[in-house]
Amino acid sequence: MTQTVLITGSAGFIGYHTAHRYLSEGWRVIGLDAMTDYYDVALKDARQARLEAFPQFRAVHGRVEDPELLAQLLAEHRPDVVIHLAAQAGVRFSIEDPESYLRSNIDGTFRLLEAARHHPVGHLMIASTSSVYGANTDMPYRETDKADHPMSFYAATKKATEAMAHSYAHLYQIPVTMFRFFTVYGPWGRPDMALFKFTRAILEGRPIELYNQGDMRRDFTYVDDLVEGMVRLAAVVPEQGKAVEGDSLSPVAPFRVVNIGLGRSTPLEDFVAAIEEAAGRPAERTLLPMQPGDVPSTWADAGLLTRLVEDIPGTELRDGVRAFVDWYRGYNRL
């Protein structure tokens, strides 16, 4: 029997890759996306066109803030898994337009939780972010660490959705896994992401901007590795009383938080060097102070993920960056 997954934000960067993976494995995929203009909608259209080449894909245009639409989709399709990726992304944009984060991230997640309350699903998976660790400098970040001091409103909305989802898991026994993404990169990425901006600038002969004078470190996670972790986690439904070593499993709800990262913190300069190598030309650097809401370092403790689903692939940075640069050149016909 064909299984069904509902993916919100299916025309987005991570949503596209997740949907494509499930379609390639024969699942039926219901893809909900509002096709908002936060960045060029043509890129979202191109991603969705590739998904629509699969006969078992159904595209639904709409917002997660629409309670009637969500209830209809859950009632009609009865998905085995729901993966909630729709959100307003970006740390810096949350300073410019915080209200959009309130609507998409908090209200949108609330509407989905309400729909799942009335139309139960086998496993509800919700995207969070490494940004929730905020001012915490104890690394690598563990899921059981405190995350009480968000540095941006984006991070605050994601932390809020974790708390909201836990309450619904407790009250209505909805199995929920929150997965915290670290710096995800790869083909079909968003234009506001560092890899996209750096590649475009280097190929156009313009300087790249490095914040905190370039003294930054990130746990760079290749998108295919992230998707592998998500797909494997979908089969590990949280159950009370069935914790593993070092688990974040709630004592009062079928609720778990899991980091999905490479488990390695890499200097930003190494990232830039990989782009230079793939692009075949050097970058001109403009060094700037730290941006509000940003943090100098991220680093995932991926131990819980490994204990739950065994080792996932760890794409080397140079290989992942080259795959993006090759895609960028092909997409832009360079």
- Which residues are annotated as catalytic? 154
Rounded CA-CA distance 213/220 in Å is: 19
Query: Is omega for the bond preceding 140 within 30 degrees of 0, making it cis?
Result: yes
Of the candidates 318, 313, 314, the residue with the CA atom closest to the CA atom of residue 270: 318
Q: Sort 90 into a burial class: Cβ within 10 Å, 0-12 / 13-18 / 19+.
A: buried
- The helix (run of H) or strand (run of E) holding residue 70 is helix 67-77
SS3 call for 239: coil
What gap in Å lies between CA 145 and CA 22, rounded to an integer?
32
- Give helix 67-77 / helix 108-118 axis angle, nearest 10°: 40
With contact defined as beta carbons under 8 Å apart, do 219 and 50 qualify?
no
For the chain, the maximum distance between any two Cα atoms, rounded to a whole number of angstroms, is 57
C-alpha 84/C-alpha 216 separation (Å) is 29
- Categorise residue 243: left if φ over 0, alpha if ψ from -120 to 50, beta otherwise: beta
Residue 328's nearest CA partner among 91, 43, 51 is 43
DSSP for 155-220 reads HHHHHHHHHHHHHHHHHH---EEEEEE-SEE-TT--TTSHHHHHHHHHHHT-PEEEGGGG--EE--
**CA distance linking residue 170 with residue 252, whole number of Å:** 6
